Amino acid sequence: MPEHGIEGLAAARLWAATKFPYLATGVFGAQVIADPGSGTLSVDESWRMHADPEVTADWTAAQLGSVLIHHVCHLLRIHGERAQDTGVRPDEAADWIRAADAEINDDLVPAGLELPGRPVLPRDLRAEDGLLAEQYFAGIRRQAARAAESQARSGPWLDWLDCGSGADGIPRPGQGQGSEGGLPRWQADLLRRQVAQDVIAHSKQPGTVPAGLLRWAEEILTPKVNWRAVLAAELRRAVAEVSGAVDYSYRRPSRRSAVAGPVVLPALRRPVPEVAVVCDTSGSMTEDLLAMVLAEVEGLLRALGLARQVRVLACDTAVAPAQRVSSARQVELIGGGGTDMGAGIGAAAALRPRPAVTVVLTDGYTPWPAAAPKGMRVVVGLLGEGAPDAPPWTRSVRVEP
Amino acid sequence: MSAQNPAVEALGVAVAARVPVLLWGAPGTGKTSAIRAMAGAMDLPCETVIASIREPSDFAGLPIVVGGEVRFAPPAWARRLAEAGRGLLFLDELSTAPPAVQAALLRVVLERAVGDLTLPDEVAVVAAANPPEQAADGWDLSAPLANRLCHLAWQTEPRAVADGLAGGWSAPVVPVLPDGWHAEEILSRGLVAAFLHVRPGLACAPPSNAAAAGRGWPSPRTWEMAARLMAAAGAAGIGDEARSALIRGAIGDGAGVEFLAWLVEMDLPDPERVLADPASFRLPERGDRAYAALAAIAAAVAADPTAARWTAGWQVLGLAADTAPDVAAVAARVLARCRPGDADPPAEIRLFAPVLRDAGLL
């Protein structure tokens, strides 16, 4: 291990690894470098911590260990990258770090973190516990806009220290990115996964791991699928398979036939398929989510050049007449009560011209027909968490905002 | 630009190893020019074929009746490559090619067969595509075609663009595979085989949704590709980042990350072997690896605490106490708790007293 020249570092790391055993891999994975005169202990995105020996000398082992844990959490939750995605300007970096600190501290301080000074907690930002840094940061931005001119921007956090580029994504002079000694990105990703696995393993004993950290680990190990991308792919595929859109067909001779002599070549054809959307309007549906998904479907169909063909059916146990719409805002959701999507699919199949693709948006609490309707593709959007599965003859997409 | 862009490095290795590769990237980010420059630097004749404006017969061969039977005549670009005996076939705009053209490309990409003509083994196949969400008329790649390619994400670094605009684009550095690099393939195949013994579920895991189907996913074919790329990456001596991009590109992100994590773990010493011969123990340099190694040894002792194993465990910790007292102390606390009845307290225990006292744990 390289010379770090920080007194009491070993004891601090030992304290951290004992008190928070599920983060031990992260604590030992970070490299600590002495950086005299920096006046703080900061972290960069390559898992290197830059410590000013004069600052750390005043801290107890528990305090230094807590700062290490705190910084490891900045890295685990990739606050640097998220700051860039959020568009944090350099003059807002301090606000972002307060937001990121609040995200970490809200469950680690109750778990026994002993940070020097007064750590930022969500209540300092007039927010509730358990939110994301982005949400805390949006709150700070709103408050700053309200407070307007420069005044009223002081608080107990001003005595808190700079957490570094690992927390806000803004490079610090003299701390090269990944150039010498730090962890390259892919190794940092592996380390993060390892910590997540440790957290899950420790959570088998109830009451040991803070809930926020457990939620983080579960998200790392089973990443959320972006339903928009999946829905788009399923729709594109259904439209492509049904219509053979812009595909080759022997129905018409190719334009190259003139020079190809006796050979029959296929030509490009593009039939335009009809699309119907069946909306579940039973009492159990959330209207906001339905409107959001409907708008998404409409946007996708417009991108495929099919927006004019869309017909929307509202359905609970009975089916309202089809509405031809040009915008999701025009859809009137009439209905309520029980649900039978079979009726909706049957009604879609009875439309003339017959739709080649039917999109069903439902919460899944419905009976389904036993088999697929003939000659029609069915794409199901299952809305809301824990929706029951759709039958295997459909292509289903889970939509969980 | 001093450091080589990992995507370029990975591309170079894939071309040199003759593994079909597909670059995903936004339009206008220099994929095409990078591939042409790569062909130039490797002195390979480059044939560019834009898949989206071709018909299936351009890849499956044009059917011609000759003396009562149908021949599938290859187009001119295939003839030129066959005559040169080597070269780079560049399939541009792959994701905007209609499904029928993608189907016709299957044999071209993997078997290098165009109509009745088979391209020489020395022809590398490289493709480029825009992600479907960025190309207005894009299609998702069909799963069989996606499974035949190593998928690399093309990223542009703002600094490289700035340098390139000001001072001209630097020629890509071409990785050189030494003769006989194939010998290393046996080793990497062995590693893959060992991993698949541990995780048989990953031997073949077709993607469950349509969006993931257009990228790399684990199958026997892609595992073979990954083994080949791993051997080539090792022989060319390219960076870890590029190596990991190649492996993840072949078998997909999920399986790729698990495989890479397993490789890292494989580097750790085997606890039973260390306990049999404590003096042979070398502490891994990185803190988290050292922690993983010592924790594994302590756990092995705790699982079967005999006096001999317990003493051997303390000897290992004694060796580590000098360089990493904190890491060793964590393992020491585990050992101290599982002391077998007939064992004497070891001398090494004293080494940890100061650091434990400083941490307030004594």
Q: Global pTM?
A: 0.74
**B98 and A247: CB-CB below 8 Å?**
yes
Please, are residues B140 and B132 in contact by the beta-carbon 8 Å criterion?
yes
* Residue B235 CB neighbours (<10 A): 22
A232 → chain B, closest CA residue: B211
* Main-chain dihedrals φ then ψ at residue A377, nearest 5 degrees: -90, 140
For the stretch A92-111, pLDDT in tens is 888 888 899 999 988 888 88
Tell me the per-residue pLDDT of A364-399, one tens digit each, with 9 for 90 and over. 888 888 888 887 888 888 888 778 888 888 888 888
Mind giving me the DSSP string for A291-344? HHHHHHHHHHHHHTT-GGG-EEEEESSSBPPPEE-SSGGG------S---HHHH
Q: What residues 170-229 of chain B have any CB closer than 8 A to a CB of chain A? A: 209-211, 213-214
CB pairs below 8 Å between A and B: how many?
140
Q: Residue B1: its pLDDT value, please?
A: 35
Cis peptide before A353 (omega within 30 of 0): yes
Amino acid at the residue B145? L
Distances (CA, A) of B82 to A27, B37, B59, B149: 57, 21, 14, 22
**Phi-psi region for residue A307, left (φ > 0), alpha (ψ -120 to 50) or beta?**
alpha
Residues 6+ apart with CB under 8 A from B119: B78, B81, B82, B89, B112, B113
- Site of tokens 């021949």: B71
Write the pLDDT tens digit of every residue in A265-295. Answer: 666 666 667 788 888 877 777 777 777 778 8
* A residues 275-334 lying closer than 8 A (beta carbon) to B: 303
As a whole number, the mean pLDDT across chain B is 86
Mean pLDDT of B262-291: 87
pLDDT at A178 over 60: no
At residue A45 the predicted structure's pLDDT band, cuts being 50, 70 and 90, is confident
Query: Could you give the CA distance from residue A113 to residue A70 in angstroms, rounded to a whole number?
Result: 8
Strand bridging mode B123-129 / B62-66:
unpaired
* Residue A276 pLDDT: 86
The pLDDT of residue A158: 46
Which residue from A minimizes the CA distance to B138? A236
ipTM of the complex: 0.73
CB–CB contact A11 B358 (8 Å): yes
- How much is the pLDDT for B253? 85
A233 contacts on B by Cβ (under 8 Å): 132, 140, 209-211, 213-214
Q: How far is CA A228 from the centre of its chain?
A: 11
Closest-CA distance of chain B to residue A335, Å: 32
**What pLDDT shows up at residue B126?**
93
Pairing of strands A395-399, B21-24: unpaired
Residues forming a β-bridge with A266: A253
Would the CB atoms of B359 and A11 count as touching at under 8 Å? yes
Contacts 24+ apart (CB under 8 A), A349-356: A349/A373, A349/A374, A349/A376, A351/A274, A351/A276, A351/A311, A351/A322, A353/A274, A354/A274, A355/A273, A355/A274, A355/A275, A355/A276, A355/A311, A356/A239, A356/A242, A356/A243, A356/A273, A356/A274, A356/A275
Give, in order, the Cα–Cα distances in Å from B126 to each of B38, B48, B90, B110, B230. 11, 10, 5, 11, 18
Lowest-confidence segment of A244-248, B213-217, B342-346 by average pLDDT? A244-248
Give the residue from B158, B233, B152 showing the smallest Cα distance to B1: B158
- Whether residues A190 and B99 touch (CB distance < 8 A) is answered with no
Rounded distance between C-alpha atoms, residue A400 and residue A398, angstroms: 6
8 A C-beta contact, residue A361 and residue A290: yes
Distance between CA atoms of B19 and B221, rounded to whole angstroms? 11
What's the whole-number mean pLDDT along residues B244-273? 88
Decide: helix, strand or coil at residue A256: coil
Task: Check CB contact of B330 with chain A, cutoff 8 Å.
Answer: yes
Q: Which residue has tokens 């595979």?
A: B177
Residue with tokens 């803004």: A170
Residue among A80, A97, A111, A284 nearest A202 (CA): A111
Q: Which helix (H) or strand (E) holds A148?
A: none
Angstrom distance (rounded) from CA A281 to CA A296: 18
Cα–Cα dist A141/A133, whole Å: 12
The phi-psi region of residue A207 (left if phi > 0; otherwise alpha if psi is between -120 and 50; otherwise beta) is left
Which residues neighbour B59 within 8 Å (Cβ) at sequence distance 6 or greater?
B101, B104, B105, B107, B108, B114
The per-residue pLDDT for A156 is: 43
- Among A74, A27, A30, which Cα is nearest to A49's? A30
